[in-house]
């Protein structure tokens, strides 16, 4: 069940991501889809492994409730910043 869930969530999160757009553009530019796939897959695999190892290590040191609260706070800050930026509250000049 976990496999059906980390796949759905990751697939949904990656759609339209600038990494996916860059991968599409590289495949179109170089016309080497298998090589682009191999590079993109390898990069995602290694980054995911690093994230899993760091997350596992963090869980041993920091209680899960603290991690949840900290991550909620970070997401709220980013959400606020994106909202303010979208509404033109910050001058990007």
Question: What would the DSSP string read from start to end of 65-77?
Answer: HHHHHHHHHHHHH
Q: Which domain range does residue 14 map to?
A: 1-61
Mark whether 57 and 76 lie in a shared domain.
Answer: no
Mark whether 52 and 19 lie in a shared domain.
Answer: yes
- At 44-83, the pLDDT tens digits run 899 999 999 998 898 899 998 998 999 999 999 999 998 8
> Which pLDDT belongs to residue 91?
64
Share of the chain above pLDDT 90, in %: 52
> Is pLDDT larger for residue 91 or for residue 9?
9
Q: Tell me how many domains the chain contains.
A: 2
Mark whether 1 and 37 lie in a shared domain.
Answer: yes
Other CB atoms within 10 Å distance of the CB of residue 9 = 10
C-alpha pair distances (Å), 82 with each of 8, 85, 90: 25, 5, 10
Q: Against a cut of 0.75, is the pTM above it?
A: no
> Which pLDDT belongs to residue 41?
92
Mark whether 12 and 27 lie in a shared domain.
Answer: yes
> Which pLDDT belongs to residue 55?
87
Mark whether 68 and 30 lie in a shared domain.
Answer: no
> Which pLDDT belongs to residue 27?
92
Span 24-53, average pLDDT: 93
Mark whether 49 and 36 lie in a shared domain.
Answer: yes
Mark whether 38 and 53 lie in a shared domain.
Answer: yes
Mark whether 6 and 38 lie in a shared domain.
Answer: yes
């Amino acid at each position: 069940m976990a496999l059906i869930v980390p796949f759905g969530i990751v697939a949904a999160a990656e759609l339209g991501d600038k990494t996916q757009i860059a991968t599409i553009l590289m495949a179109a530019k170089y016309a080497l889809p298998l090589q682009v796939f191999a590079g993109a897959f390898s990069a995602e695999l290694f980054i995911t492994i690093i994230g899993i190892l760091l997350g596992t290590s963090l869980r041993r040191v920091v209680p899960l409730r603290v991690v949840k609260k900290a991550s909620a706070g970070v997401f709220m800050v980013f959400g606020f910043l994106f909202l303010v930026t979208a509404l033109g509250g910050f001058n990007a000049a």
